[in-house]
Amino acid sequence: MAKFQAPRGTLDILPEQQPYWQWILSEARAIAGQYGFRPIEVPVFEETDVFARGVGTGTDIVEKEMYTFEDRGGRSLTLRPEFTAGIVRAYIEHGMHVLPQPVRLYSIGPVFRYEAPQAGRYRQHTQFSCECIGEADPLADFEIMSMAWDLFDRLGFTGLRFEINNIGCPACRPRYLREVLIPYLEAHRERLPKIDQERLQKNPLRVLDSKEPETQPIIAAAPVITDFLCDECRAHFDDLRHYLDLMGREYVVNPRLVRGLDYYTKTVFEVKAEGALGAQNTICAGGRYDGLVELLGGAPTPGVGFAAGIERVMLLLQEQGIQPPPLEEPVVFFVHRGQAAKDRAVQLAHTLRTAGIGTEIAFGNRSFKSQLRQAGRSSARFAAILAEGELERNEVTIKDLASGEQTTVPQEGLVAFLQACLSE
C-alpha cells in the first residue's frame, strides 16, 4: 500500500516546533485579553452565502479559493476561508448589538483556502483574528493596529514595516472608481494581463493589489484614492495618524494598499516582517469593515479588525533566529529495581504530579544503568532512584543529572525537597 502523506498544501506542526507555536498563541491570547477582547469559537464551516456575501464575489477567495461542498442534506457549506464573516454572523445571530458597544472578540484557528502552495502559503493555515464591532472612532483602528504591534514586539521581531492606507467609503470610493480609476485602467487595458482585465471588470480596486509583473508600472502611475477621499474619510485618516504619531509608531502610507475583500472601508493596513518569503512576508492584515454587519443582515454597525497568519509568524521568527521559551516538561525521572520499588515509584510519581511537579517513570524492567541513561536523555533535571535499600528505609535517592550529586531524602519529604530545589 502507498504511504499516506498530509494533503498538498497542509502542514504538520511537530513537537519540535511547538515551543514557537504555543508561545505565539499564548502571547496572542495575553495581548487580546489586555485590550479587552474576549475569546469566541465559531464553526469551521458556515453556509456558503456567509462568505460569498461577507467576503464578496469578485475576490480571489470567493472565486477561486473556497472549499465548498454539499452536505448529505443538500446544503451548500464552505470551510471558513477567514474568521470575520463568521464572527459577524455570530454577533448578529446572538443579538450582541444589545451589549455595551463595541463588542471585542477574537479567535484562533484554522482557515482554508485553495491556493498554490509554497513556503508561507498553505491550503490550511491558522489565523489569530481580532474584531472590534460597533465602534466608529479612529482610536479603535489605532488600538487594533497597536495590538498587532505589541504582539510582534513581544515576540522580538526586528525590521517590521507597517503600511497603512484609507480606501474610502461608499460616499467617495464609487466616484473615485467611476471617474478616476476605471477610466485610467481602461486606457491601459491592452497592456494588462488577462487576469487583471477580468479584475477590472469585476472589482477594479483589486487591480491595485495585483502581483502580475506587467501590471506593476500601470499600478505605479495610477491616480491614488487618498487624493479623492470625502471629508469624513480624510478626517478619519488624519485622526488615526494622530494616534500613531502620538505613540511614536513608525509606519508608511502606501496609497496603493487595498484589500481583496469588498467590505473594507476607510482604514486598511498590513504588516511585513524581514524575511525571505517574498509576498509571504506579510504576517498580518486588517482594516475597517463598516459595511459588513449590514451586508450580513444586521443593523448598520461599524467594525474594525485584523488577522495574523501564525505559520508565517513562526517561519519568520525562526528565520530571524529568535528563540522561544521552552515548553514545560517533566523534571523528575523515576528509576526503579524490583516490582515492589516499581509499585512505590508509581505511587510517588502520582504524588509529585499532584503537587505540580512533572514526572516520568521508566517502563519495563531494564537495568539500572539503562534506566539512568534514559533519564539522562530525558528533559528531567533529577533522577529519583528506588532500589531495595531505599524501599526498606522509606527513602529516595535524588540524583542531580547535571552535576551527578546525590542526596538521600525521606519519601514523605520528597515533594518539599524537590520544590525547594526547583525554586532555587
Stated as kind and residue range, the H or E segment containing 46 is strand 45-47
Q: Using CB under 6 A, which of the segments 115-123, 130-138, 217-225, 232-240 binds ligand ATP?
A: 115-123
Q: Is 122 in the site for ligand ATP (CB under 6 A)?
A: yes
Determine the 3-state secondary structure of 414 from DSSP: helix
- The SS3 assignment for 127 reads strand
Q: Please identify, using beta-carbon distances, which residue of 120 and 138 lies nearer to ligand ATP.
A: 120
Which position among 27, 46, 82, 262 is part of the footprint of ligand ATP (CB under 6 A)?
82
Residue 272 interacting with ligand ATP (CB under 6 A): no
Q: Looking at the DSSP assignment, which residues form a beta bridge with residue 382?
A: 332, 400
Distances (CA, A) of 24 to 305, 323, 424: 19, 12, 28
Q: According to CB under 6 A, which residues from 297 to 326 bind ligand ATP?
A: 307-309, 311-312
What's the one-letter identity of residue 247? M
Give me the least distance between CB of 316 and ligand ATP, in Å please: 10
Is 259 among the annotated ligand-binding positions?
yes
Rounded to a whole number of angstroms, the minimum distance from the CB of residue 123 to ligand ATP is 7
**Site map for ligand ATP, 236-265, x if CB under 6 A?**
------------------------x-----
15, three cell numbers = 513537537
* Distance of closest approach, residue 61 Cβ to ligand ATP, in angstroms: 7
Annotated binding residue 127: yes
Residue 125 touches ligand ATP, criterion: CB under 6 A: yes
Shorter beta-carbon distance to ligand ATP: residue 273 or 335: 273
Give the full edge-to-edge strand order of the sheet including 282-288.
38-39, 103-112, 124-133, 303-309, 282-288, 265-272, 161-166, 252-253
d(CA 202, CA 204): 6
Least separation in angstroms between CB 250 and ligand ATP: 19
49 to 66, 133, 290, 296, 327: CA distances (angstroms): 12, 21, 19, 9, 41
Question: Nearest-CB residue to ligand ATP?
Answer: 309
Residue 63 binds to ligand ATP (criterion: CB under 6 A): no
Residues 330 and 377 sit within 8 Å (Cβ to Cβ): no
Shortest Cβ distance from residue 304 to ligand ATP (Å)? 14
Which ranges of 264-409 would DSSP assign to H, the alpha helix? Answer: 292-295, 310-319, 339-354, 368-377, 388-393
Spatial neighbors of 119 by CB under 8 A, at least 6 apart, are: 277, 280, 315
- Annotated ligand binding at 274? The verdict is no
Contact 385, 344 (CB under 8 A): no
User: CA-to-CA distance for 7 and 410, rounded, in angstroms?
Assistant: 54
Helix (H, G, I), strand (E, B) or coil at 389: helix
Residue 121 binds to ligand ATP (criterion: CB under 6 A): yes
The yes or no reply on residue 285 touching ligand ATP (CB under 6 A) is yes
Q: Which is nearer to ligand ATP, 28 or 283 (CB)?
A: 283
Q: Establish whether 84 is an annotated binding residue.
A: yes
Question: At closest approach, how far in Å is the CB of 2 from ligand ATP?
Answer: 27
Q: Does 127 bind ligand ATP (CB under 6 A)?
A: yes
Query: Which positions lie near ligand ATP, rule CB under 6 A?
Result: 82, 113, 115, 120-122, 125, 127, 260, 279, 282-285, 307-309, 311-312
Question: Residues within the annotated binding site for L-histidine?
Answer: 82-84, 113, 127, 131, 259, 263-264
Q: Which residues are annotated as a binding site?
A: 82-84, 113, 127, 131, 259, 263-264
